[in-house]
Structures are given as structure tokens and as C-alpha cells.
Structure 1
Amino acid sequence: MSSASTAGHPVNTDVSENPPRSVGSVLRAYVALTKPRVVEQLLVTTIPAMLLAQRGVPSLWLVLATLIGGTMAAASANALNCVLDADIDAVMKRTSARPLVRDQVSTRNALIFAVALGIGSFAFLWATTNLLAAVLAVATILFYVLVYTMVLKRRTAQNIIWGGAAGCMPVVIGWSAVTGTIEWPALVMFGVIFFWTPPHTWALAMRFREDYKRAGVPMLPVVASAEYVSRQIVVFSWVMVVWTLLLVPAASWIYLVLAVVSGAWFLISAHRMHLGVRRGTEVRPMRLFHLSNTYLMALFVGLAVDSVIGWPAFGWTF
């Protein structure tokens, strides 16, 4: 009789190496696929765009519906990014704990989850807002996945400049959800985030340069000197701050003051970092990275306040 049986009854020797996972841990893994911190940042810009489009407070249901649909779209794009970049994430310390790397979610299930979210975002936004907002959400997902993740990210140091356009779309989606159109203030807000993205991302990449190098991702800090990168950060920061002033005709003195003060604060920090790099002193690019998040939030929160209680600075309308 085989030693793998007792009293004529076979003994199950196929013991799983991993114990069964709780429902909570599975849910947390799927949530992690969506990169919640990135989603939060996108939502911070969506609401002010809707308030500016309304020049007041839109229907709370419309705001909620746009946020839900936008969250689903962003989550879909981020989960697809995790699927396609699993090989990169596995060799980068910063991303080595992501669900696909740790086998917390199978590639097949992650793909199904991501596609379902994308389809759901289109259907939900079309049903609750309008077709334009729904189409823009799908276009954003496709651009982020097909253009940035699959083409630009691994091939060019310009990856984040053009690929970052996907992160600018929530303001346009929010505007279109309210108005059913795309007008010039929406494009200006798009530009603010477009020019904000390189300084924000390059500061992070300066800190994790070796990670990106090991993964074979040609981020600018990997292929260029620190002095060149910091100079580019200064250039894009200046363009960004000047660009924010283009919104003044659609806002009031509240936004104008905040844009100038916060912009000066950011520029001083960018110049300080560049000067430190040139002098060869210790620099902490993560300070600028975290500051960039604070700056963007302050700017758009100020725009939201202005949209509700302010008035056109020069009596202009759009």
C-alpha cells in the first residue's frame, strides 16, 4: 500500500504553499492595481474644472457621476498599465510590491478587471453625463495605454512630456460633463497640467534614477546629466506658471493672487534645486516632487473657490 494512503483512503499531498487569502486582502490587491493616489490627484483637478464651467456649483449628482465615471476610467488605465509594465515593476524597488509582481492577482484577472472598468466608465458617463465626456474618457484610456505605456515609455526620454497628456484629460472631461462642449478655459487647464507633469515626474525620476536605469526605462534623468535635467525642470516650471495666468480672464483677483504667489513659490524652489545641482551640493528632488503636488492642489482649490465666490477679473466672459 502506498504511504500516501491510510486505511484505503488516499491522503491529499497537494498542499498549497500559500494559505487562502481573505476577501479583504483580495479587494486591497485589486484596489492597488488602480493606483489610488494617482486617481485622487486626478479628481482634485476635475471638480474645480466643473465649478469653473458652471461658474458656480453644478448639480451634486452631476459632480458625483462625473467623479465615479472618471475614477473608473483612471482605474482602468492604471490597471492596464500594471499589466503591461509588470516586468518593469518587478525590477524597480519603488514598484516591487504591486499586486501583479507579488502574484496577488493573476494577469488574466487583472486584464479582465481593467477592461471591465473601461467599458463601465464609458457606459456610466454616457448614461449620467453626456456622450462627449464618455468618449473623452475612453480616448484617455487608449492614449495612456497604447501611446504612453506601449510606445513612448520604453523608447524615448520624451516619454513623460507627451505621454503625460493623459493625466491632463480629467479637467476636459469635467468641463464637458457640465457644458457638453470643450472651450478655451478647459484647454488652458489642460495646458497647466501638461507643463506641470515634467517637473513633477522628473523630480521623482531623479530620486529613483537607478530604478529606472535598471528597468531600462529612458527617463530623462537616466540619459542626461543632473544639471541638464534640473535646467529643464526650471524651463518647464516657468512655462507652467506663465500658462496659469491665461486663466485670469475667466477668473477673478482671487485666482490671480493665488496663481502668482504659489507660482513664485514653486519657481524659487525649482531654481534652488538647479543651483544646488550646479554647485554640486546635496539636493533633495523629492522635496520638489512633494511641493509640486501641493502646488497643483493649491492652484486648483483656489480656482474652485474663485469659481464659486469670485467674479471675472476684467468683466470678460467665455
Structure 2
Amino acid sequence: MTLVDVNPSIATREAVSLAEPRDFIELLKPRVMSLVILTAVSGLVVAPGQMNPMLAVISILAIAIGAGAAGALNMWYDADIDAMMSRTAQRPVPTGRVSGEAALTFGLSLSLLSVCLLGLASNWVAAGFLAFTIFFYAVIYTMGLKRSTPQNIVIGGAAGAFPPMIGYAAATGSVSVESTILFLIIFLWTPPHFWALALFKLRDYGSAGVPMLPNVSGERTTRIQIFAYSLVLAPVGAAPFLLGYAGPAYGAVSILLGLNFLRHAFAVLKMADGDVAMLPAKKLFGFSILYLFGLFAMLLVDAAIMSFLQGGA
């Protein structure tokens, strides 16, 4: 089934974009972009030394634009399956508000702009890292992994985990143990987050032909893997404190958040097969967003506290 089969009106709209500015903003996936900004700033903050504030702002803007570009390319390529899923059917391309050609041009243009802007504002190591991240998400994940393997989220999750490493590289021109730990937090968080979503959107993914883990291996295997990833995620989430580059405030919050993540994951593990309500999965999905935002926001708060204490010493 093609996109035109699902929504025949798209065939007549394809040649002309009916988009308003808000439709192009939607192509950027603003909620994902906000997380990218937060994690990239965290990577920049934990980096040693100080970056010129104006260049730091421009660098974060470039990383955000790059994330938006990747989102636009994803929506361009996935328009056919987006049209079949209730969660994504109203996106700009499947509804015909933005033509496929316009979305592709928009994504490619922003990709080039973001990479060049980051290279000029910081360094070309960070810019190359950003270019690779856009390529990884748009080509390796979206065009390759998403439709071919139930491990799509595991491997493809690396794209969403790169921003703190890019932020660190923007400040230093390199990567480190600190930025790698931040990468691992997001990388390990991604499977339980998206598999929880896949549990209560199982029919959507099935009708679209996307081989998410619950559709391929069943609900029980998915619940076990969610809990297994959560067991590893909780201590890794506290690693910045345990390794000494975050203070006790971060340590306390990360431990509390990690224990709550495990509590929700255990509730999902104990769910019965065929649970129609899927309340534990929905609760885990919602809490997982709070968990990640909480961890990285606390890194920034902790850095501010440490800076204040050192300035007053």
C-alpha cells in the first residue's frame, strides 16, 4: 500500500505545498528538538574550560537545526507509514499540507546549514559529528533499520544519543569518558521508552508493517527486555555522580529517578499478555520522558550550584 492509496488527495497536492509556517515547524519535531537542546547544552556544560558565550549559543542553535533537519527527512521518507498510524496520521506530509518534495528540500537545506554553522562557530570535528548524526538518523535508521529489524530502536537510538557528545565536541574538539556516559544514558533509555510506546500502539505498528519488538517477538519478550535495559540504565544514570563530575544534588535526583524507573519497568514486567488497558506501559512511557529531562536538567542545575560554590570559595 502506498501513501497515495491511503490518502488519494495527496496525489493532487504533491505538486504544490499547502503548508503554513507552523507545518514546517512541525516537520522539525519540536518536542524532540527541545530534548536535543537540553542534552547538547549538558554536554557543553560538562566540558572543561569555557567557550565564548555567543559561539556556544550559535553552536547549540546549529545542533538544534540539525536535529530538526533529521526530523524533516524522517517525515519525508516515512510519510507512507505515518499515514497508517493514528499517532502520526496528521503530520504535514501524509495529510498533504506539505509536499514530499518540499519536505525533502527543507530537510536537506537545513542539514547543510546546520553543519556549516556549527563548523564556523566551533570546530569541524563537531560539525562532522553532527553531519554523521543526521546521516545516521535519516539514512541508516529511517531508510534502513526501521522497516527491516525489530532491533531498529536499539541501533537507531544512537542517533538520539549523540547530541551531548556533539555539545562536548563543540567546546573541546574531542570526545571523552564524560560525554560517552551521557551518550550511554540516552542510548540505554531509548529501548524501554519506545518499546513501552510500542506495547500500547502495537496494532498501529502492525498495520504499518513496522517490525517493532512486540509485533515480532511478542509482548512477554518485550516486557523482559524493557526490564533488563532498565536494570542497566538506572546505575548508568547515576554514573556522572559516581565518577565525580556531578555533585551530590545530581546524585540524589538520579538515584530517585532511577528507582522510580525500575518500579515502572517492574510493573510492565508483571503485566499479563493481552492486557487491553496497558496502563503500566503508558505510565512507563510518560515517566521515561520525565526521567530523561530530569537527569539532564539536573546536570545543568548541579553545574550551576558547583560554579556558585567555587565562585564563593
Sort the TM-score into its range (normalised by shorter chain). 0.7 to 0.9
Inter-CA distance 210–281: structure 2 relative to 1 (3 Å threshold): closer
The alignment status of 1:259 with 2:242, answered yes or no, reads no
**What's 2:305 paired with?**
309
Find the partner of 1:27 among 11, 21, 28: 21
Query: Distance between the aligned counterparts of 1:207 and 1:43, measured in 2?
Result: 28
SS in structure 1 at match of 2:296 = helix
Structure 1 contact 51–58 (Cα < 8 Å) conserved: no
Aligned-partner Cα distance in 1 for 2:208–2:26: 21
- Equivalent residues of 2:17, 2:98 under 8 A apart: no
CA contact (8 A) 2:115 2:130 kept: yes
Structure 2 residue aligned with 1:205: 198
Match for 1:77: what amino acid? A
Measured after TM superposition, the shift of residue 89 of structure 1 is 0.7
Q: Where do 1:177-196 residues align within 5 Å?
A: 177-196=170-189
User: Out of 274, 283, 293, which is 2:269 matched to?
Assistant: 274
CA contact (8 A) 1:207 1:286 kept: yes
What amino acid sits opposite 2:65 in the alignment?
M
Read off the aligned partner of 2:258 and give its amino acid letter.
Answer: G
Give yes or no for contact 1:45–1:170 (8 Å, CA) kept in 2.
Answer: yes
Question: Secondary structure in 2 aligned to 1:93?
Answer: coil
Q: Distance in 2 between matches of 1:33 and 1:301?
A: 25
Give the alignment's Cα RMSD to 1 decimal. Answer: 2.2
Q: 1:279 to 1:212 in 2, by over 3 A?
A: closer
Structure possessing the higher radius of gyration over alpha carbons? 1
> Within 5 A, what are the aligned runs for 1:66-77?
66-77=59-70
Residue 117 of structure 1 is matched in structure 2 by: 110
- 1:51, 1:308 within 8 Å by CA — same for their partners in 2? no
Amino acid at match of 2:263: I
SS in 1 for 2:174: coil
Which of 11, 24, 44 is matched with 1:50 structurally?
Answer: 44
Shift of 1:282: 4.6
1:132 CA drift (Å): 1.1
Q: Is the 8 A contact 2:111 2:134 kept in 1?
A: yes
Query: In the TM superposition, what are the counterparts of 1:281-296 in structure 2 within 5 Å?
Result: 282-284=277-279, 285-296=281-292
- Check whether the contact 1:276–1:282 (CA below 8 A) recurs between aligned residues: no
Work out the number of aligned pairs and report it.
291
Rounded to whole Å, the distance in 2 between the matches of 1:282 and 1:146 is: 35
Measured against aligned partners, the alpha-carbon deviations of 1:5-41 in whole angstroms (never above 9, x if no partner) come to xxxxxxxxxxxx99xx999x51111111111111111
Distance (whole Å) between structure 1 residues aligned to residue 239 and residue 48 of structure 2: 19
Q: Is the 8 A contact 1:159 1:219 kept in 2?
A: yes
Instruction: Output the CA distance in 1 between the equivalents of 2:21 and 2:298.
Output: 35
Q: Confirm or deny: 8 A CA contact 2:200 2:278 kept in the other structure.
A: no
- TM-score scaled by length of structure 2: 0.87
Q: Distance in 2 between matches of 1:281 and 1:29?
A: 34
| Structure 1 residue 147: Cα displacement | 0.8
Counterpart in the other structure of 1:314: none
Counterpart of 1:41 in structure 2 is 35
**Which segments of 5 or more consecutive residues in structure 1 lack a partner in the other structure?**
1-16, 312-318
Distance 1:110 1:70 in 2: 19
- Name the CA distance, whole Å, in 1 between partners of 2:86 and 2:278: 21
> Partners of 2:53 and 2:199 in 1: how far apart?
41
Shift of 1:228: 1.7
TM-score by length of 1: 0.86
Equivalent residue, structure 2, for 1:167 = 160
More divergent stretch after superposition (116-125 vs 246-255): 246-255
